[in-house]
Structures are given as C-alpha cells and as structure tokens.
Chain A
Amino acid sequence: MVIADPIEEGLASGWKHIDASQLSQSQTLEADVVIIGSGAGGGVAAEILTDAGLRVIIIEGGPLKSSRSFNMEERRAYPDLYHQAAAMKTKDKAIGIFQGRAVGGSTTVNWTTSIRTPKNALDYWAKDKSVEGLSREELDPWFEKMEQRLNITEWPFAPNRNNEALKNGCEKLNWDFTVIKRNVKGCWNTGYCGMGCPVNAKQSMLVTTIPAALEKGATLVSRAKVVKLEHHKEKIFAAKAIALDENLKPTSVELTFKAKHYIIAAGAIHTPTLLMRSGVTDPNQILGKRTFLHPTLLSGAIFSDPINAHSGAPQSIYSDEFVWRDGAAGQLGYKLEVPPVHPVLIGSKTLGYGKSHAELMANFNQLQVTIALVRDGYHEQSQGGQVHLTDKGFTLDYPLTEAFWNAARRAFSSMAELQFAAGAKQVLPISEGMPYLNSWAEAKTKIATMALAPLKTVVASAHVMGGCPMGEDLKISMVDSHGQSHYYENMSVMDGSIFPTSLGANPQLSIYGMTARNATRLAERLSAAKG
C-alpha cells in the first residue's frame, strides 16, 4: 500500500529547504527570526511566527526524513532519527538517553503521550522558582489551542495488552490510572511511533507545524549544526553553523544566520551546550546545571498469554498513584507507564547474555514491561545533572543519589506488585543479580534487600529537561517566565530546557502549550516593531 508522503509532496511544491549536506560553499542567510531546533518548541514557534507574517528560518542539526523512509526497523530509525544513534549516555554511562535528532526533533520519535503540565509542578515553580503567570488557569487556553491543533484526544480504542496489564493491575489494586491523550489523526494502531510514524498519523512537528510554516514561506535548513552565537553587549548578531554530511559528520562548509530575533530550541542538553560554547552572559553559572531526565527503571513480567507489546499504540494508560504522594519536595515520586517492546530496545535494555538472555528474548511476545519515571528536581537530594563542554561536544554528569535509589526500590516494588496483580507468572526487575520472581510475596522480600547501583541497575531516560531555567529571579534563572533571555534583548529559549524541574509527566504538551503562549507574545512584539 502506498502512503502519501506530505514532505515529498511539499518539497515538490516548492518549499524552501536547504539540505546543508549538499552545500559546497559557505553562505549567509537572513530572516526576521532564526529558530535553532525543529522539535516541540521550534516547530510550534515556527508556525506562529510565520503566521504573524515574519520571515522565519528553522535550523535543524538532524536530517529531513519522512514517512517514505520510516520502515519500522530500529536499525534505520535509531541512526537516522536519534541523537548518537539512540546510544547517548550520561558521563558515567549509568543512564541511557533517547532524544530525537531529525526534523521534528523528539516529536518525530516520541510515543505520542500528551499530558498538560501537572498543577503540582506549576505551583512549585511559582513558589520556589520565581516563575510567574504560569498557573494552570493561565496555561489551559494554550493547552486547548495546541490540543486542537495537534488533534490531541483521549485514545478511544482498547489499550494494547501491554497497557492493559497496567490498567488491570491498577484496577485490582485500586490505584489511580488515566487513559492517555495522544496527538494522532487516523492512527493505524501499529505501535511504531518510536521509529517515525510510517502512516503520518502522529501529529508530530514534522507533519503539522513545520509544513504549515514552510507553506507560508519559512525556510528549513537541515543537517546544519549551530555551533556558536555571536554576541555583543545585549544583542545576538549572528548564529554560526557548520554543514554536516549525510552521516552527520562536520564538513568545512560554514553557514551564517542573521536575524532580528533568535530562538534557541535545540532541546535540553543542546540548548545549554550551545549557549555555554558561545560564552553568553551567565553571571550566576546556571547554564547546564539542573538538567533533569525522569530517570526510569524497568520491570519485565512474563505472562502466560501473548502480550505482543510491540503492537498497538505504545502508551495509552498511565498511573500517577505514586508521583506526588509525598508532596512535591518530599521523597521522589514516580509515574508508571509502559514502553513498546522492540527487539533492539529490549535486547539492549535487559541484562546478561548467552542462554539466559536468549531465553528472555524467546519470551518476547509474552513479555510485559512496566516503567517507572522518577520525578527529579524537587527534593534537596535531586538536583539533576550538569552539562559540561568537551573538545568534541558535551558530557552530562548526572549523579544518581540516595534519594533516587530510595525511589527506585519503591518503584521496583510497586511495579512487581502491579504486574503480579495483573496476572504475571514471573517478574524480573531489570537490575543485576535479580532472579525471576515467582510471587508478590517473594518479590516484596527480595526487592527490599536488592542491590541497587549505577551500572548495575538499568536506568534510561526519554525526557530531557532543564539546564536553562525560566523565572524572574536572576540568581536562579536564565530566561524570564516567557522564555525571553534576561541578558539578550533579541534572544528567547523555547524548549524543555526552560523547565526549572522535571514535570512528573511526559513533556511534549507542556512544551507545545508554553511555546504557543511565549511565541504568540513574541510575534506580537516583533510584528509591532516591524510596523
């Protein structure tokens, strides 16, 4: 069956797209607004600013890929669509990080879960992080706007069996659970969102806001890595980029972008990295610090009946039973969700090798996996990680503290209890030394004393946040509550790096809503100035 490819059609219709890998000469491009990054923040900003009649250039380090090349194979998706081919890790290699790197950013590869910013997070930011004007009442209209724009609605179909187990377990234990809202239109329920939607049902930036901006004359430059912002006094006057080749390796071709306003939307880790490398004003040494990951634990469970966790909407149920139980600043809470199970993902994120690993893989279709995303950035012992510059790029030093391991133990226990309640035959906490557990009673005892440590316990992350926080207090923030730089009049940050803590929820809708609010205000300001 042939699926229409809106990107190919758009390019054929004359969209302005420059694939920097094809350039042989350096050049300079100018616009009203240059947006660095094309993910949830960059994409939304691009559409709003273009709609306002401004000339916009969107710069993306990754390639422009589209549904025609999304073949539902991890071996293609990871190198094409993820930072470091989905093998990015923290400095000590204890946490694996999944972050998108292609036009559409992480929205091209996320699992479509759309959650409004939890009130607890917003209240904490207002009280402790000097954030103003971001109550749920003030934000809800923006969430509604973006929910309409991206067709974000509650998943109306039955959850797949992986999610159903989560739901069943919650029902048996009388735990809270929610049916997830997803940004999809005409979803085929195949389960390959993480490899790029092959049927363009996912309403990612790749098929919504960016095409809309390009239709109205914006320019997209892909495979161009912005390496430095040139600045003088309180103004940015250029963004310098290098063209990457088809393998995303640097070339000698340089690109210079000049604009009235610069929006940094390269995502957490990369936005602070760019700002640090550019030597921007940061008197309180805030940049790159307090980078949050929702560090995530995994628990496998073997069921008698097929689970087929590779098939169907990857996430349709979550449980907030344990996220805010002890208050925002109390002991670390965790959100329960499930991931899709695909061969490379599960093969590499489980433990061991040889016969024991082969046996686990042979149970591929019987394997249910539950994940616990730990809410970081609130507790005094949860200050997140720090981005450091290196000769070639960056490292993220993220210490896993006692407070985290305390949450991990509780999370493994909750996941095992849930999985047994849902009917699991055996449960396998993904941490070195843990055997298959045969009952909740056994699990309770063994998990209470299990060894937990970096590199022994598998910890992963798909939500990178913080490192360039917003707020009104200059001692703890780089940008104001609208994402406007405290130090540069023509620079804003519009991505997840502005979150002062993690969210305790999947971040895409928070970025969409806040960016819609902030970009609309910026568009008004720039349009007024343009006259």
Chain B
Amino acid sequence: MKRRTFLTSAFVGTAALALGVSIYSPEFISANRSQDSQHRLLFSVLLPVFLDGALPDVENLRRAAENRTLDAIGQTIAILPEEGRVELEQLLDMLEQRLGLLILTGSVTPLMMRSPQELVSMLEYWRSSFLDLMVTAYQGLRELVIASYYSCPEHWSRLNYEKPTFLGQEV
C-alpha cells in the first residue's frame, strides 16, 4: 500500500472523531449520523457563526431556521456543476478529518469542540490568509451558507422584505 493511500484511509476513519460527533452532537440537527453525505453536522457547527445576528433569537425558531438552511445547503450542493462540487467536497472532507483540520486550521481540535470565538478566529485566519486556497475556502463556505440562508423566504422577515403576492397561488 502506498503511504499516501494508507494515510488517507487512516484519516477517513477518524473523520467522525475530528468533527467531534462521538463526543457531542446537538439533538435538534436532523442528520443521519452514519450517512451524513450532505455534511449536515459540519455545517451545523458553522451556521451559528456565519449567521450570528441573522438567525432568530427564539430557540425553536432558530433551530427551524438552521435545519431549513441545512436543507438548502444540501440542495445547493446537489445542483453545483461537477467540478465545483468535487472541489467543495474535498474541502468539506478535509474539515471532517484531523489531518485536513491541521492543514487548514493549524489545529486538530474537532470543530465541535471549538468555541464560537475559536471558530471566528479560524474563519478570520482563512479570510485574511496570503494563500488563495485559504481565502477561497472561506469564501466558498461563506457564499454557500449565506446564499442558502437567504434563499428561504422564511428568513426574510429581518430584512422587512417579501416578494410580491400578485401571482397568488404558486405552481
């Protein structure tokens, strides 16, 4: 077995641990923990940071908004062209692995074990990096989360915006 293949296999095995799934996962996130192909758990950690101040204050409304956004993220990923989807999946996979975390964030601490402030520091580290790879990782995740959140009409009340209703019943 080539060393690289071995390393990859070994670290895939630790993905759940890197994310902190075995230690903690929020009750309200609807995710099949064994087959989280849409990376819902990963995004459930990032959403409160990206959307701080935008998500509703009331707990159950916030949870509903987070779950809706996770659904929208899944739908967005599904319609990305193949090259873009492959690129994004590589990034998400790295964030779910310890080696990837180390490369991208300088630490193997699972994302779920990090405080909101630590997650902000991580995003700011990418955002201001001199490496384009880091900046595009930040921008890719940011755009995906923010576009998915604001794609849902349920999330427009804070904008005092709604689309016109003259068309009545929708198709």
A residues lining the B interface (CB < 8 Å): 1-3, 68-69, 71-75, 79, 84-85, 87, 92-93, 188, 190, 192, 198, 247, 310, 343-344, 347-348, 353-359, 361-362, 364-365, 390, 392-393, 432, 455-456
Instruction: Choose, from B4-12, B34-42, B47-55, the stretch at the interface.
Output: B47-55
User: Given A358-B53, A361-B54, A432-B127, A73 and B79 touching (CB < 8 A)?
Assistant: no
B79 and A79 form a contact (CB under 8 A) = yes
| A344, B76: Cα distance in complex, Å | 12
Give 4 closest A-B pairs by Cβ, nearest first: A358-B53, A75-B151, A355-B53, A364-B159
A85 and B159 form a contact (CB under 8 A) = no
B27 within 8 A of A: no
Q: Which of B83, B166, B171 contacts A393 (CB 8 A)?
A: B83
Chain B residues positioned under 8 Å from A355 (CB to CB): 52-53
A361 and B158 form a contact (CB under 8 A) = yes
Chain B residues positioned under 8 Å from A198 (CB to CB): 167
Question: Which residues of chain B (98-112) have a CB below 8 Å from chain A?
Answer: none
| A468, B40: Cα distance in complex, Å | 44
Interface size class of B (residues with CB under 8 A): 35 or more
Contact with A along B125-150 (1 / 0, CB 8 A): 00110001001100110110111011
B81 within 8 A of A: yes
B84 and A87 form a contact (CB under 8 A) = yes
**Chain A residue, CB-CB nearest to B134:** A455
B163 and A73 form a contact (CB under 8 A) = yes
| A3, B166: Cα distance in complex, Å | 10
A5 to chain B, nearest CB (A): 10
B146 and A348 form a contact (CB under 8 A) = yes
User: Given A71-B167, A455-B132, A455-B135, A85 and B80 touching (CB < 8 A)?
Assistant: yes
* Seed contacts A353-B51, A355-B53; 7 additional CB < 8 Å A-B pairs: A71-B171, A72-B163, A190-B164, A247-B79, A343-B155, A361-B150, A392-B83
User: Given A72-B163, A354-B49, A354-B53, A348 and B72 touching (CB < 8 A)?
Assistant: no
B residues lining the A interface (CB < 8 Å): 49-54, 72, 75-76, 78-84, 120, 123, 127-128, 132, 135-136, 139-140, 142-143, 145-147, 149-153, 155-156, 158-161, 163-164, 166-168, 170-171
B72 and A75 form a contact (CB under 8 A) = yes
A1 and B76 form a contact (CB under 8 A) = no
B164 and A74 form a contact (CB under 8 A) = no
Q: Which of B54, B147, B167 contacts A344 (CB 8 A)?
A: B147
**Chain A residue, CB-CB nearest to B55:** A358
A357 and B54 form a contact (CB under 8 A) = yes
| A247, B82: Cα distance in complex, Å | 12
**Chain B residue, CB-CB nearest to A74:** B151
**Chain A residue, CB-CB nearest to B81:** A84
| A209, B166: Cα distance in complex, Å | 27
